[in-house]
Chain A
């Protein structure tokens, strides 16, 4: 569905995206991760046609960008990270404007409002909406025309637990309907929960790209955390089971002490992210 080949974006001497090649299959949720300034937003801007690429080839549904931007716009939706509503207008009026531009019926507007649990507030001006409601309205706006590809930049930021679950469920429903979701997020739990494919970007370069389960297989560490009480103080030790010496130490410790608590260390995407990008996750 989305094919990026050797994409380069330069601003003067600064290279924002460097030789990026990624392929996203149809009907998948694609997680696009990277520390701040890694080039995620620049890539999305190229994919949505806002920014022309310096070099490389980008196609969506076999339509090349920016050459076929007009056709691409009709099959894409973009949920930006900052809200961009017409505040004076009601939620419904905002949606109706976009519905008219996409040639979508008013019935669909009602359907989307109901799906995002915004029906009750539909008549109120957007200026009176909470941040979460605004975010949901933005998502509602972008799924009005049933896009084949939905670009989402931090779609669950500022949402409460209920709305977060609602949005994640919605994204999964879109996937079931055959849509491709290109998700830029900093929420690692979200990546683990809903993404089918994950790419990690650092300083404009692609560091890794795989499925979350493959990431787990490749990056999960066979380590255990051992806790014991030594003269009233809780002492913790980590043992790497891949290391024969550490394994021997653990065995002797188990033999000597009877009050040990042994925990296996879970796979955490955040650790993988940090390891691959070499940066502390913010």
Chain B
């Protein structure tokens, strides 16, 4: 298997020159970045607030660093609670309390609190449904952000997808300001706080699909239809050099545009190993998919339709898998399912540290995604070698 850098670079330069002249494709990629910039300037993206220790805590912080409580039920999912306990960052000062051990009055009004309750109609199939009540001191719900972000990320890791949380936020006026009286409950959804991660996930997935799969299929099928691919492969360039050059250009385009989007929405994500690994694997998966479609493409029209039909099918499958168990197995065999979760997780965790990234990367879901992406890449390369080589 020959892989000569000068041949790969020559082929990549040609692909890049063709891409630069492809106005609509560049406009679409630019649009993704513009959407991210608009999103960033819309107010949905805010600087991640530092954990705000209430005033009273700050005065005697050496004695107690406790800043948040997680109140859970004894019979709740042990694995989840244990994972929450293990992954609780020390700087957040989180204390875990069993609901059965305390009364409502025991909960300090000057701390952030997350109360987890199982719904009354709990059944096995509703294992991921919880009533989550966030409570924060003062009038600014942003103080909850560090704790809630950590809580949701770890929950996502445990369940493998977004749990069905019914969330409410309760604001408690500090006793010093309001004489201990509890303010009226505010039913404010956390949706806004999560929007940026969700939209970011959709943007990044769309970019990876478009740049690494859609654009590859479109340009390579055109080369195949016109015979340009045959002309290239009749030169000393080998099939593997052809694949490497395509991977360099389309993978680079997907990752480069994704980085621009992340720069706009949350710079700190770029420090996350989880983000880079997830994006690399997802891009590899989409590139392999594009290569596979190109291997069977005889003209341009069919593969373009096929690639977008595939995306639609995967989206539908993931939606159906939430409702019907029969689709869950099928969904589990697609790398997109894990790609979406871990992209969301990496965006939601922001600049999560190396240790936390490695912890996530050791999860079965992440390993399955890695195996699926790598396997698909190897299969696509092998099939392409039979169908595309001269």
Contacts and interface: CB of A to CB of B under 8 A. Distances in A.
The answer to whether A and B come from one shared complex is yes
Interface of A: 48-50, 69-70, 73-74, 76, 78, 80, 82-86, 88-89, 93, 97-98, 100-103, 141
Interface string B1-37: 0100011011101100110011000000000000000
B79 interface: no
B231 interface: yes
B6 A100 contact: yes
B10 A97 contact: yes
Nearest to A70: B236
A43 to B, nearest CB: 16
A69 B239 CA distance: 13
11 contacts: A50-B390, A69-B390, A73-B234, A78-B231, A80-B230, A84-B227, A89-B14, A89-B21, A97-B13, A98-B235, A100-B10
Given A73-B235, A86-B18, A88-B21, A103 B227 contact: no
Contacts, number: 68
A74 B223 CA distance: 21
A49 B390 contact: yes
Given A100-B6, A101-B11, A102-B235, A80 B18 contact: no
Interface in B226-240: 226-228, 230-232, 234-238
B226 A84 contact: yes
Contacts of B2: 70
Contact of A70 (B6, B227, B228, B238): B238
Contact of A89 (B18, B231, B232): B18
A97 B6 contact: no
Contacts of B18: 86, 88-89
Interface string B209-236: 0000000000000010011101110111
Contacts of A102: 235-236
Given A49-B390, A98-B235, A82 B227 contact: yes
A101 B111 CA distance: 67
> What are the 5 tightest A-B residue pairs by CB atom distance, in nearest-first order?
A100-B10, A84-B227, A88-B21, A101-B235, A97-B14
B228 A84 contact: yes
B379 to A, nearest CB: 23
A85 B235 CA distance: 14
Nearest to B21: A88
Interface of B: 2, 6-7, 9-11, 13-14, 17-18, 21-22, 223, 226-228, 230-232, 234-238, 390
Majority-rule SS of B interface residues: helix
A50 B18 CA distance: 25
B10 A84 contact: no
A101 B237 contact: yes
Contact of A86 (B10, B228, B230, B238): B228
A50 B230 contact: yes
Contacts of A70: 2, 236, 238
B17 A89 contact: yes
A103 B9 CA distance: 12
A7 B38 CA distance: 65
A70 B235 CA distance: 9
Given A48-B234, A80-B227, A100-B6, 14 more contacts: A73-B234, A73-B235, A78-B231, A83-B226, A84-B226, A84-B228, A84-B230, A85-B226, A86-B14, A89-B14, A93-B14, A93-B17, A100-B7, A100-B10
Contacts of A82: 227
Contact of A73 (B223, B227, B236): B236
B221 to A, nearest CB: 14
Contacts of B13: 97, 100
Given A50-B390, A80-B227, A84-B226, A101 B232 contact: yes
A49 B18 CA distance: 27
A122 B234 CA distance: 23
Contact of B234 (A78, A86, A88, A89): A78
A78 B234 CA distance: 8
A101 B6 CA distance: 8
B380 to A, nearest CB: 22
Most buried by B among A78, A83, A88, A97: A97
B19 to A, nearest CB: 9
A85 B237 CA distance: 16
A141 B231 CA distance: 10
Nearest to A73: B236
Contacts of A89: 14, 17-18, 21
A89 B14 CA distance: 8
A103 to B, nearest CB: 7
A216 to B, nearest CB: 35
A197 B96 CA distance: 92
Nearest to B229: A84
A80 B228 CA distance: 11
Contacts of A48: 234, 390
Contacts of A141: 231
Contacts of A97: 10-11, 13-14
B169 to A, nearest CB: 54
Given A80-B227, A84-B230, A86-B228, A101 B236 contact: yes
B386 to A, nearest CB: 12
A150 to B, nearest CB: 12
Contacts of B17: 88-89, 93
Most buried by B among A49, A80, A82, A100: A100
A73 B232 CA distance: 11
A48 B235 CA distance: 10
Nearest to B238: A70
A74 B231 contact: no
Contacts of A88: 17-18, 21-22
Nearest to B241: A101
A85 B229 CA distance: 10
